[in-house]
Amino acid sequence: MDINGSIALVTGANRGLGKSFVDALLDQGAAKVYAATRTLSQGATGPQDPRVIPVKLDVTSAEDVSAVASRCADLTLLINNAGAMLMTPMLKDGSDAALRREMEVNVYGMLAMTRAFAPILAKNGGGAIVNMLSVVSWFTAPFNATYCATKHAALVVSDASRIELKSQKTQVVGVYAGFIDTDMAAGIDRPKTPPRQVTDRALEGVVKRKDHVLADDRAEETWRTSREHPAQLAALQQHAWDTRPK
């Protein structure tokens, strides 16, 4: 599908990668962008493009999801960007609570939005769904294990949705990146990818009808290793633990 003239909704749109998605959509000619945030007061400051429509949305709230689906019935492009990352090893005290919180946003939130908007996209010609996944959809970084678990699960949600929605001509794009230079990864001393690179590649994937978008060098390297040299993943996971943030 074309980005030009599209009507998009971006979850987690107030900052970081979500704000970059909004900006990229506007630059590529989107007719309207619903910028969804948990509270409207979290919206971007400064002059607002008239094509941007702020909407209140907590993806973990069934009431919010239903209300937004009713309001945004003209949607042609859904971008599931909202995410939570708590940097929790699997055996740390409180890891169960961290996992539940991350699952609510990263998995159940994505699922709820996809289910709510699938019939709307079908009615509007098919459209597309972009799911922000991660390189840790394919391997585990032990210092961030609960987040990795959610991204493994989110990959299944994304891949299964693609298969189920194919008959209604809805494209489902999984986007993978390493650490992105946003507040979410502010405390991590690792190479980071500019948000705009990720969003531009993601939207290019929509235009070119790609199922999977490798948004940076880390994603390309990890994809290749996981398929050509899967045994090396164990060494990468151990290295991630040995060099974890202190």
Task: Convert the pLDDT of each residue in 100-144 to its tens digit.
Answer: 999 999 999 999 999 999 999 999 999 999 999 999 999 899 999
> Which residues, in sequence order, are bridge partners of residue 52?
33
| Strand ranges in 4-99 using DSSP code E only, listed in sequence order | 7-11, 32-37, 52-56, 77-80
User: 212 pLDDT exceeds 50?
Assistant: yes
What percent of the chain is modeled with pLDDT above 70?
Answer: 93
Q: Which domains does the chain have, with CATH numbers?
A: 7-242 (3.40.50.720)
Per-residue confidence (pLDDT) for residue 52, from 0 to 100:
97
What are the pLDDT digits (tens) for 156-192? 999 999 999 999 999 999 999 999 998 775 667 777 8
Per-residue confidence (pLDDT) for residue 41, from 0 to 100:
65
User: 243 pLDDT exceeds 90?
Assistant: no
User: 155 pLDDT exceeds 90?
Assistant: yes
Per-residue confidence (pLDDT) for residue 232, from 0 to 100:
76
Per-residue confidence (pLDDT) for residue 47, from 0 to 100:
55
Question: What does the alpha-carbon distance between residue 130 and residue 114 come to, in Å, rounded to a whole number?
Answer: 10
Per the prediction, the chain carries an average pLDDT of 92
In order of 27, 90, 135, 221, the CA distances from 236 in angstroms are 38, 17, 12, 11
Q: Which two tokens stand for residue 67?
A: 């209300």
Residue 90 banded pLDDT, cuts 50, 70, 90:
very high
User: 67 pLDDT exceeds 50?
Assistant: yes
